[in-house]
Amino acid sequence: MGRLRLDVNPAPATTPADADAGAHPDAGEEAAGPDGEGTLRRRSATIQDVADEAGVSRAAVSKVIRDAYGVSPEMRQRVEAVIARLDYRPRVAARAMRGSSFTLGLEIPQIGNDFHSVMAAGATDFLAETPYQLVIAPIRDPQEGDKAIQSLADRQVDGIVAVAPLVSSDWLDRLAERIPVVMVGRHDISTRYDTVAGDDEAGAEEVMEHLIELGHRHIAFLDIDRRRGQGGRSKTFISPTGRDPHAIRRRVYHEHMGALGLPPRVVNGAGHMEEDAAAAVRPLLDDDESRPTAIFAGHDTLAVGALRAIAAAGLDAHDVSVAGFDDIPIASHPMISLTSVDQQGYAIGQEAIRLLLERMGGRTEAVRLQMPTTLRVRGSTAPPRRR
Amino acid sequence: MGRLRLDVNPAPATTPADADAGAHPDAGEEAAGPDGEGTLRRRSATIQDVADEAGVSRAAVSKVIRDAYGVSPEMRQRVEAVIARLDYRPRVAARAMRGSSFTLGLEIPQIGNDFHSVMAAGATDFLAETPYQLVIAPIRDPQEGDKAIQSLADRQVDGIVAVAPLVSSDWLDRLAERIPVVMVGRHDISTRYDTVAGDDEAGAEEVMEHLIELGHRHIAFLDIDRRRGQGGRSKTFISPTGRDPHAIRRRVYHEHMGALGLPPRVVNGAGHMEEDAAAAVRPLLDDDESRPTAIFAGHDTLAVGALRAIAAAGLDAHDVSVAGFDDIPIASHPMISLTSVDQQGYAIGQEAIRLLLERMGGRTEAVRLQMPTTLRVRGSTAPPRRR
DNA sequence: ATGAAAGCGCTAACAA
DNA sequence: TTGTTAGCGCTTTCAT
């Protein structure tokens, strides 16, 4: 599956059109023209075609489509009519060569993670009345963040928003010299790119205080697994600064456990997916004695996976409580009812784009935004059953 | 919120670099070079820079990066060294002007719909070992599908996969004259673009037979709402052919109800979102007498929303059963346990890309693929309580 | 207000 | 095997 024949190279896009003797392609006309309705790809109208047809210069057409200064109403009208008739669309690639592509890139480390979806929705909505188009570059392995970001940069996007906790800040600094960059979920201090992040420290503290107050003492931390994708990729590495969101959440967990003299227990999620988390949690539940009474999951997708294992084992919140992070939409579903930290993913997406547009508009000082968090207490956390 | 200052126009990307007197940008060197570490955006290396630095022609460099025929090992090595040192990256926009952009576009009508996420994952995975990058164009309103597709086309992607049930097939035919297109979830017969779709008819039949067999007679159909975004967008319209997936599911529902002489009851989901569906279902539950005993939801996101309303009202599957379509990941969660039709979203994503690559490789006959469906019976459907 | 012309970075004939 | 050259479609001075 997934094996593709190696005829991958696209057919040369060169049309047999050599007759450059003022031949208007007449693209978009309903009359199919002299060219048979065969299968050959038809060339579409260029700015030159429009200019010829309207009897003006390319420059004039360019001014019309850019709404630039210096066009008479009559010319504008004439040109616009031809544009409509020929169904002319400016080629973004050609524009990009001279300036901007009016495209913004968003890299997210996991398609299907609802937190990222919500963030992307915020970004998309914010761009609505803007001339910019957002494109998302999805990746398979969270470790490949730098590749996807680079790929976006190669495509001449005018700016990049990325969620990539593991990419080195040096590399990002270098990238940000070339193109405006806003990083989401990073707490590092860069002078070249902006950051937007939730307050991971405060959020994690709320969770731990809540669990402890409920009476839990045997609390496990369900972490994402960074050992995956161990290939020695040069620019990607395990965050050494401990400043990525999951490292912070884990540290706060350790601090609270330590303060109470409780032994920490970190379980590796073996990935980012719900199923990975369920698999990692399952063995914890076997033994009634050693079983934790609560699990603090690094993010909601892991938390939902933990709930999957717990429910499948016939246990409930009084046996094993679960708290997550992100407050993804399903968390508030009454049948899931997951206690979670709301870090305003939608607003994060909006703010990231706002900052990016600001930067593209000329701002040069770096801005760091931290969103406040709110603990949403729900049914998945309850006092532990006395044993 | 979301209101952005109108300094949206990107700063002109022209660097003040006028000294074209053989100045190598020396991009990517760790030594910051003579230029102060100020804020001006640095120009990055071009193929010309590499050629100059390596003492060869542009064509030679081009051949090296394209792995083309006719380069001596020595030259290749020399060029590659310079490429690495200068951190040279070919500009995709420039390449796109001469041929392909090595970018494939995926348009999905709703970011955050898990079925689309799974599909996108299949597409992404299939492209893994390929030189192509997938970019996703998200949209806010499902009605804007044509805009997003057009936007992708404007960006010179080499091919397009789209989920856009409401776009007219004429428009798509015209688009497909210019660029390879594969449509997902459409059952129409086009000679210019391919289609991949689940077997909506068979899937819906399985659902209805299952509900009826359980003993349900008062079955409602929870439909997406097509009245939204009523603005008269020229190329978008309510599918007149009745061949879009939701129209088919609804038709099968009507047929089964009619065959049993039962009165149909179609409820509008007022959108595609879970919350929309919950709001639409709530009023159905008020009156014990008129309350349906089962709901067939047009897709799983709506079904989960229905479950939200049902659970919030303190009811369960014996009061109101729910069946959905798509078998999104959360459906199998034991706390949700939603009966649903599996139409292999992941495989659909893979197949769509496979067909697209085939088409890009030269195939001209249209291919229509239909994926078989499987009903996953779970806890959300149960025999109705006797009243 | 309009147009001529240069050039963005790359690929693809074609020559050498 | 290598280099020269002509564009791809657009924006942008700079003349007119």
CA of B57 to C1' of C13 (A): 15
Q: How confident is the model at residue B25 (pLDDT cuts 50, 70, 90)?
A: very low
Question: Is the per-residue pLDDT at A92 higher than 70?
Answer: yes
Q: In sequence order, what are the beta bridge partners of B237?
A: none
Domains of chain A: 24-97 (1.10.260.40), 103-192+347-371 (3.40.50.2300), 200-344 (3.40.50.2300)
Q: How confident is the model at residue B347 (pLDDT cuts 50, 70, 90)?
A: very high
d(CA B121, CA A111): 7
Cβ-based contacts of B103 with chain A (< 8 Å): 155
Do B143 and B229 meet the contact criterion of CB atoms below 8 Å apart?
yes
Nucleotides of strand C under 7 angstroms from a protein beta carbon: 1-13
CA of B23 to C1' of C16 (A): 29
More confident residue, A19 or B311: B311
Whether residues A111 and B92 touch (CB distance < 8 A) is answered with: no
Whether residues B117 and A112 touch (CB distance < 8 A) is answered with: yes
Q: Check residue A232 and give its pLDDT.
A: 37
What's the start-to-end Cα distance of chain A, in Å? Answer: 50
d(CA B79, CA B60): 8
Question: Is the per-residue pLDDT at B22 higher than 60?
Answer: no
Q: Check residue B63 and give its pLDDT.
A: 95
Q: Check residue B337 and give its pLDDT.
A: 98
Whether residues A7 and B130 touch (CB distance < 8 A) is answered with: no
Name the DSSP letter for residue A325: E
The radius of gyration of chain B's CA atoms, rounded to the nearest angstrom, is 27
- Please report, as a single letter, which amino acid is at residue A168: S
Q: In sequence order, what are the beta bridge partners of A342?
A: A374
Neighbour order of strands in the sheet with B219-223: B266-268, B219-223, B294-297, B321-325, B339-342, B374-376
Whether residues A7 and B361 touch (CB distance < 8 A) is answered with: yes
Nearest to A138 among B136, B179, B354 (CB): B136
State how far the alpha carbon of A319 is from the alpha carbons of A219, A383, B320, in Å: 12, 9, 29
Of B13-22, B65-74, B87-96, give the range with the top mean pLDDT. Answer: B87-96
Nearest to A130 among B8, B151, B177 (CB): B8
Residue with tokens 């006395």: A386
Q: Report if CB A341 to strand C is under 7 Å.
A: no
Q: Check residue B203 and give its pLDDT.
A: 98
d(CA B346, CA A150): 26
For residue B322, give how far its alpha carbon lies from the nearest alpha carbon of chain A (Å).
Answer: 14
Question: Is the per-residue pLDDT at B87 higher than 70?
Answer: yes
Question: Is the per-residue pLDDT at A319 higher than 60?
Answer: yes
For residue B364, give how far its alpha carbon lies from the nearest alpha carbon of chain A (Å).
Answer: 7
d(CA B366, CA B304): 36
Question: Is the per-residue pLDDT at A56 higher than 90?
Answer: yes
Q: Check residue A40 and give its pLDDT.
A: 55
Residue closest to B111 by CA, chosen among A222, A135, A359: A135
Q: Check residue A234 and give its pLDDT.
A: 34
Cβ-based contacts of B13 with chain A (< 8 Å): 99-100
Residue closest to A279 by CA, chosen among A257, A255, A310, A249: A310
- pLDDT tens digit sequence for B35-61: 333 445 667 899 999 999 999 999 999
Q: How confident is the model at residue A46 (pLDDT cuts 50, 70, 90)?
A: very high
Provide, rounded to the nearest whole percent, the portion of chain B with pLDDT above 70.
Answer: 85
- pLDDT tens digit sequence for A240-296: 567 899 999 999 999 999 999 999 999 997 788 999 999 999 999 998 889 999 999
Q: Report if CB B98 to strand C is under 7 Å.
A: yes
Question: Is the per-residue pLDDT at B141 higher than 70?
Answer: yes
d(CA A158, CA A156): 6
| Average of per-residue pLDDT across A158-177 | 95
Question: Is the per-residue pLDDT at B297 higher than 50?
Answer: yes
Nearest to B100 among A13, A111, A153 (CB): A13
- pLDDT tens digit sequence for A27-38: 333 333 333 333
Q: pTM for the full model?
A: 0.88
Cβ-based contacts of B39 with chain A (< 8 Å): 364
